[in-house]
Amino acid sequence: MSYFFSGVILVYAVSGFLLNHKNDFNAEYSIKQYEIKYDGSVPIAQTELNKEKVLQLLEPYDEAKNYTQHYFPDSLSMKVFLKGGSSLEMNLSTGIGLLESIKKRPLFSGLNRLHYNPNKWWTLFSDIFLLGMVVLTFTGIFMLKGKRGLRGRGGIELLIGILIPLLFMFIIK
């Protein structure tokens, strides 16, 4: 059983690390930006940019299959919407556009989702895992006797292990 719990602990450890560093690293999505240059003459007339021409612009970036629609918010720009939240914004006077490609990271986003209890079955599994961890913890606490056990150094370490999270929870904000 300890190998089973070790596997679950490793999964929770990785997903917890990703959540702790969500301001440093986007585990959910890979976001890349590309500068696109129109290969025709500029300024570009809106009538020149039909769906076929827009798909040609997207093809080198493997985004043509994700095209949903495009429109012109004003006379100097075009906005293209792509599946998954990606988009292209093009300046018609310069012929330069910015393609923002957003791709879901399958493994990392899945690991993060586990921390948010995605369904009742995962909640049930997590509760069973919690009970297993409590049993393992209490049996481990009482295994060692003497000065290294609960009444000695082990008790001090247990108290510190409880106080540090409480300190962060109540004092350090």
CB atoms within 10 A of CB 44: 19
Within-domain flag for 55: yes
Within-domain flag for 7: no
Q: At 18, which helix (H) or strand (E)?
A: helix 2-20
Within-domain flag for 129: no
Within-domain flag for 164: no
Residue 83 DSSP SS3: helix
Within-domain flag for 33: yes
Q: Tens of pLDDT along the chain (173 residues)?
A: 678 888 888 888 888 898 888 889 898 899 999 999 988 888 988 998 999 999 999 999 999 999 999 999 999 999 999 999 999 999 999 999 999 999 998 888 888 888 777 788 988 988 998 898 899 888 888 888 888 888 888 889 999 999 998 888 888 76
Within-domain flag for 109: no
Total number of domains in the chain = 1
Within-domain flag for 167: no
Within-domain flag for 89: yes
Domain holding 62, by residue range, is: 29-103
pTM over 0.75: no
